[in-house]
Amino acid sequence: MTIHREGYPTLAIVTITLGIINFAIWQLFPDNNVVQNIVLIISLILFFTLLQFFRNPVVKVSTNPNQVLAPCDGKVVVIEETIEDEYFKTPRRQVSIFMSPINVHVNRNPISGVVKFVKYHAGKYLVAWHPKSSTENERTTIVIRHENGVEILMRQIAGALARRICWYVKESQIVKQGDEFGFIKFGSRVDLFLPLDAKISVKINDVTKAGVTVIAELS
């Protein structure tokens, strides 16, 4: 278990801020151990909550060219046929995974292949499970083309708390199934757009683990 690199700046700022607050409390209430201890306990709870959010556990990925693996930890909240109107502009099978603040927020490649498309969109910060979050929130769209020609679209979506989407891939880059491609801070969501003939292996409310859970089987 390690701490993700995206967490270091946040944790440093929080540590300094909490240190200043506790120092001020000790100066203002030098003889009030109750107030000092309450503030210290709250500070520790906040710090360790953030620490667990930025955890980056080691994941053992079993690569399989016929499978689409989960791009993130979380819970399946949408499985439906829809029109993907940014890249494919045709019907696709959509699977959406909601990440709560307590989930690991590392995003991993669902398949191996070549990155064909990357685009960032500024936007709103609706709650991640809102139906319009996939089209109106801050988001990135990433498309990977498998060696067999199948293309999978991933969409990182910021939530009400998320204020930073990170992605580490670029167009024409070759990526490996299960490797890290991004990170989203705090509650958020990742949508997958799959071919209509993909056999979905999960159901609504299933819990997923990035790089481990099989989302679908490709034909």
Domain ranges for the chain, please list them. Answer: 2-56, 67-217
How far, in Å, are 26, 72, 102, 137 from residue 190 at the CA level? 44, 7, 15, 12
**Are 72 and 97 within 8 A, CB to CB?**
yes
Helix (H, G, I), strand (E, B) or coil at 174: strand
Please, which pLDDT band fits residue 31 given cuts at 50, 70 and 90?
confident
The predicted model gives 180-192 an average pLDDT of: 87
Averaged pLDDT for residues 16-32: 93
> With 90 as the cut, is the pLDDT of residue 96 above it?
yes
Mean pLDDT throughout 78-86? 95
Q: What percent of the chain has pLDDT over 70?
A: 90
Q: CA 109, CA 208: separation in Å to the nearest integer?
A: 14
Cβ–Cβ < 8 Å for 18, 45: no
Residues facing residue 145 across a β-bridge: 114, 151
Please, what is the end-to-end C-alpha distance for the chain in angstroms? 35
Are 175 and 58 contacting, i.e. CB atoms less than 8 angstroms apart? no
Paired strand residues for 208: 74
Average pLDDT over residues 112-138: 75
Which is more confidently placed, 1 or 113? 113
Predicted confidence band at 141 (pLDDT cuts at 50, 70, 90)?
very high
Please say if 188 is a catalytic residue: yes
Please state which architecture CATH assigns to domain 67-217. Answer: Distorted Sandwich (2.70)
Residue 69: strand pairing partners = 214
Rounded Cα–Cα distance for residues 119 and 141 (Å): 5
Structure-model confidence comparison of residues 54 and 18, the more confident one? 18
Q: What is the pLDDT of residue 131?
A: 55
Residue 162 pLDDT > 60, yes or no?
no
pLDDT of the residue at 133: 55
Give me the pLDDT at residue 126, please: 61
How many angstroms from the chain centroid is the CA of residue 112?
18
Highest-confidence range of 32-36, 182-186, 209-213, by mean pLDDT? Answer: 209-213
Q: Does the pLDDT at position 206 exceed 90?
A: yes
pTM: 0.83
Q: Which of 43, 133, 134, 188 is catalytic?
A: 188
Name the band, by pLDDT with cuts 50, 70 and 90, for residue 2.
Answer: confident
